[in-house]
Structure 1
């Protein structure tokens, strides 16, 4: 079996192109249902182990190598992809230096993200500058028009509030999980 470009170094923290491909195949195989590329990208970006350009390049090579195949379209007309039998074999046979804990953590994060998306949880984050130079950061989670969580905090600067807003928008499911853990008394969440 000849596969192109499997050993080339990439810029992702996870390392080589081989590792990027194994990482993606592992997530897709364990999620076990077709995904559009945007959702796959969102899932892979949850843990910051893979850079977007490395994902895009590796993904298209895996499609060309018949490790991933188009299996349909979603309701928006986006192509849906799934791991092929060949992709399953390649992922299981290739040696990787990715730690099992990284794969497990990434899969758990992906499943949480998909659960949030499937449930249709809507998020909102805003900032409001105050006359004294401080800023209010507000955020909320709603599911089917029911407010799950709503909070606001005054911070010392617009810059800090904007960073909070960006972080909230990038990983709302992690924020929600963290809020629940902290309110439940699981302070170890901060150290995991």
Structure 2
């Protein structure tokens, strides 16, 4: 037996629309699913069926990106959310808002990081790791490595630890050599 308050297809559809209204940017279906599947009253197949019905009815707009599709709430969907405002239980709305904030934070973080590589003529690789704040490049590191595996390791470790790498690099670069020397003398 399933738990949760959202069980009927119409409720699932409204929850999907409500969750999309919380997201200030286009999102993948996986991101939307992460925000929406918070109640435990429905599963993947119910979500996908309702999602596609909303897409076909024009309540959700689809955008073709380079290698994937992203979605946003259409004007028609926004009207439904406004009309049905308050229909969801407060506990469901709170969980949806918490999930939306988590997804927004992850998307913004991922959008602020760039990690890519290109192969050089001599067979080595050039890896670029960068941190952006909106369109402003805050830090960029270029590293030469010798194989594809090293490229992948650098890129993944950078994505997993970008904040620590950025703070550590700044700390090292901004360290006062005179203060460091006097600290070593007092030891």
* TM-score normalised to structure 1 length: 0.51
Check if 1:146 corresponds to 2:164. Answer: yes
Q: Is the 8 A contact 1:68 1:84 kept in 2?
A: yes
Residue matched to 2:175:
none
CA distance in 1, matches of 2:70, 2:58: 14
Q: Is the 8 A contact 1:20 1:55 kept in 2?
A: yes
Of structures 1 and 2, the larger Rg is shown by: 2
Check if 1:83 corresponds to 2:73. Answer: yes
Describe the superposition over 1:86-132 as per-residue Cα deviations: whole angstroms up to 9, x where unpaired. Answer: 11112222477520231122122221133134324xxxxxxxxxxxx
Summarize the Cα distance change of 1:45–1:98 in structure 2 as closer, same or farther, 3 Å threshold: same
Alignment of 1:22-101 (within 5 A): 22-46=14-38, 48-73=40-65, 77-94=67-84, 97-101=87-91
Summarize the Cα distance change of 1:99–1:145 in structure 2 as closer, same or farther, 3 Å threshold: closer
Summarize the Cα distance change of 1:145–1:98 in structure 2 as closer, same or farther, 3 Å threshold: closer
Describe the superposition over 1:20-48 as per-residue Cα deviations: whole angstroms up to 9, x where unpaired. Answer: 11111011112122111122122223554
CA distance in 2, matches of 1:51, 1:117: 24
Summarize the Cα distance change of 1:68–1:104 in structure 2 as closer, same or farther, 3 Å threshold: same
**What is the CA RMSD across the aligned residues, in angstroms?**
2.9
CA distance in 1, matches of 2:20, 2:83: 16
How many residues end up aligned between the 2 structures? 116
Higher helix share: 2
Residue matched to 1:102:
92
Q: Which structure 1 segments of 5+ residues have no match?
A: 1-10, 121-140, 148-192
CA distance in 1, matches of 2:22, 2:49: 21
Q: Is the 8 A contact 1:68 1:81 kept in 2?
A: yes
CA distance in 2, matches of 1:146, 1:80: 30
Q: Which structure 2 segments of 5+ residues have no match?
A: 111-158, 166-187
State the 1:72 CA deviation: 3.5
Q: Is the 8 A contact 1:46 1:110 kept in 2?
A: no
1:21 pairs with 13, 16, 24, which one? 13
Summarize the Cα distance change of 1:68–1:12 in structure 2 as closer, same or farther, 3 Å threshold: farther
